[in-house]
Amino acid sequence: MLEATPLTDGWTLRHGEESLPAGVPGCVHTDLLAAGVIPDPFLGRNEAEVDWVGRRAWTYEARLPEPASGHEQTDLVFDGLDTAAEVLAGDRLLGRVRNMHRSYRFDVTGLSGPLTVRFRSAYAEAEAVRGRLGERPSAYAEPYQYIRKMACSFGWDWGPTLVTAGIWRPVRLERWSTARITRVRPLVTVEQGVGVVELRVDVERTRVEAELTLEAGVGGRRVRAAVRGTDAVVRLEVPDPALWWPRGYGEQPLYDVELTLHHGDAPLDAWRRRIGFRSVELDTSADVRGTAFTLVVNGEPVFARGVNWIPDDVFPSRITRERYRERLGQAARAGVDLVRVWGGGIYESEDFYDACDELGLLVWQDFPFACAAYPEEQPLRGEVEAEARENVVRLMPHPSLVLWNGNNENLWGFRDWGWEERLGGDSWGEGYYLGVLPRVVAEADPTRPYTAGSPWSGSWRRHPNDPAHGTHHSWEVWNREDYTGYRREVPRFVAEFGWQAPPAYATLRRALPGEDLAADSPGVLHHQKAEHGNGKLRRGLERHFAFPEGDFDRWHYLTQVNQARAVAAGIEHWRSHWPVCAGTVVWQLNDCWPVTSWSAIDGDGREKPLYHELRRLYADRLLTLQRRAAGLVLAAVNQSREPWTGPLVLRRMSVEGEVLAAANLELAADARAVAEVPVPAELEPTGPKDFLVADAWGSPGSPRSAEAGSANGLRALYFPVPDREVPYPSPVFDVNLVPGGVEVRARTLVRDLLLQADRLDARARADRGLVTLLPGERVTIRITGWETPDADTARRALYCQEPVR
């Protein structure tokens, strides 16, 4: 039987004349950090002080153990090398590599002694390729498109420039005889109620004449098949399988598939994975509104409640199985059902996709191309095809994976960002997105759809970012406009949009020790990577609030409010137009370091107010008041499997708390549908002093029940003017300790109440974000990690809207 021996111990990193202990898996930066050679680049402005690390060559050294008897062949296997390196056993060159996204295997049969991995600077490699192939345009000045490496390690508008090197995924020795399994492609389908698993298996032999068989099992069914030459097909059928569904649509049953390679009765190698039975299609049919982009799982059209995922650490080797599960669990608890793995990052580890399988999170997987023109000549073209084939096969067992996407924004960039003229006919990646990648997916994994890019309208006859066709990225709003601009269009699928806010207060305090925090203090500005980012934050605030000059705490609070308001404006509008719009994918779920960004969860894992707002926005049932051509309507978005019926109360109220007009209506929304209720004219707010409140009952599990002042209720609010024009009363409320948290009882209108738990204790977390209370209403905020509860301390950590002064 094949024996695998991890090679994780005994590695050193050569640093000048010194050798430092090296962690494998790991990278140069984490080794230098552990040895105290460099400061933490996440703190202060240390990022600039470690720039030299990415511009040097580095060498890892270990020893190959003495050859072991009993096996015919020994292979040295690297699951990931970052990025350009040569591998030597003693003085023998085993091979040269240049792709972070691939694994490598070298025959070391009979070899022992020194093992060396010499890494070239990624800058040197990229600049050498650029020198041979010529300049290509990109969104950033760094040369990331000339090397098959995680693009965002060269920096992004939310990430630091920390270009590292190292053995970033596991390494091992594999000893085997006669034959081994080299590749298994499980094609999993459901055909007329029968689950079908077709295992297409490739093997490598040391003995051509050996008679080999494969034995496979799934769901209590077992099959044997002979291997002819170096490949075989094994087909298994499972009658009436339990279907795998995205969360909110059903359960996530997983089946163990086992495959064993035999020579006679002797097992030689084994392959084991978990699969799920489900079908997935991408509906891109034409209609009167344009071209659809709707995911259909098990025949059920899905409105995708999505988030964009970036690498959770700029040093991916530090991301553990537990950290993946924590972060993806946060996504699931926010109502998310789709995670897009963005193209400037990596193909994530098995731990990521395992967690998505179990949580029912659909995965949209970008191929790693983002915001640049990529040369199509060698040495890159061969690397692109090899990495694509390997990763498509590696990830295809996962039922959560439902879509392959060719790139992020490159088709759009070619058309709109001046690339076409600058390229002058040079290659830029189109041959990958419309040629190589769809061919690889069709050949290796025909069970899943492929789309050429995001955004992409499906044809060069249309603009790539045409909102009426396919996927759309909405960035004009953040870059130039007010977030009310989201309501101008109804795209078919919004794959990127978002609004910035700083990280939690405790995260900033940890990242900027000793700094006198201000919106424009040196460390805060260094941890803002977006072009004119703070200026855009200010522009966005001034359209809605009086700008809090010189008041950091107020600025921090209001930017958090504005982020949640902006994302809500988009999602509420677009969800209310289902099924024309079939998904929203917020930019972004997470961060890779402590930074002001578009994330809902900051770089220390703390949940911003946006995260809690997503729980409301992505709940199965959502109430929203929307302006239509004929007037104001209440849209009841029902993505649950049951009809939504019950009483509906509309109240026009003054900011002083007086009910000016009211109506009792009935709500009826079909399952997986949107119902609209016209708001009577007399209930529409007439000016800055009044607003509309809509309460609906019959909504079990609503996260807003406490705010609504009634059990099992949902609420929508409509203020007709920006906050800076609303004559809010001075907020008056009582704060009392209760078991496990605090209770706030409002005596006036209290809008956007926020308890920033990390101001109580860096370890503290609150169970909710922004809350609006009418006079007489109360809310209980549960707090964990707060060891010395005190009502006065809690009051100081509470923020809300105040009268404009």
Determine the pLDDT at residue 584: 98
d(CA 146, CA 136) in angstroms, rounded, equals 9
Question: pTM of the prediction?
Answer: 0.96
Determine the pLDDT at residue 701: 38
Residue 159 carries which DSSP code? S
Determine the pLDDT at residue 68: 87
Q: Which domains does the chain have, with CATH numbers?
A: 3-174 (2.60.120.260), 178-275 (2.60.40.10), 621-725 (2.60.40.10), 733-799 (no CATH)
Determine the pLDDT at residue 707: 45
Question: Which run of H or of E encompasses 440?
Answer: helix 437-444
d(CA 138, CA 762) in angstroms, rounded, equals 39
| 3-state SS class at 20 | strand
Determine the pLDDT at residue 698: 57
Determine the pLDDT at residue 69: 86
Determine the pLDDT at residue 712: 55
**Interior/surface letters 409-444, b for 16+ CB within 10 angstroms, e for the rest:** bbbbbbeebebeeebeebbbbbebbbebbbebbeeb
Q: How far is CA 106 from CA 115, 386, 440, in A?
A: 12, 16, 25
| 3-state SS class at 693 | strand
Residue 510 carries which DSSP code? H
pLDDT profile of the chain (805 residues), mean per 10:
96 91 98 97 98 97 93 97 98 98 98 97 98 97 98 98 98 98 98 96 95 96 95 97 97 98 97 98 97 98 98 98 98 98 98 98 98 97 98 98 98 97 97 98 97 98 98 97 96 98 98 97 98 97 96 98 98 98 98 98 98 98 96 96 96 97 96 97 94 80 40 86 96 96 97 97 96 97 94 95 82
Determine the pLDDT at residue 507: 98
Determine the pLDDT at residue 338: 98
Q: How far is CA 223 from CA 1, 199, 330, 398, 413, in A?
A: 20, 11, 40, 22, 50
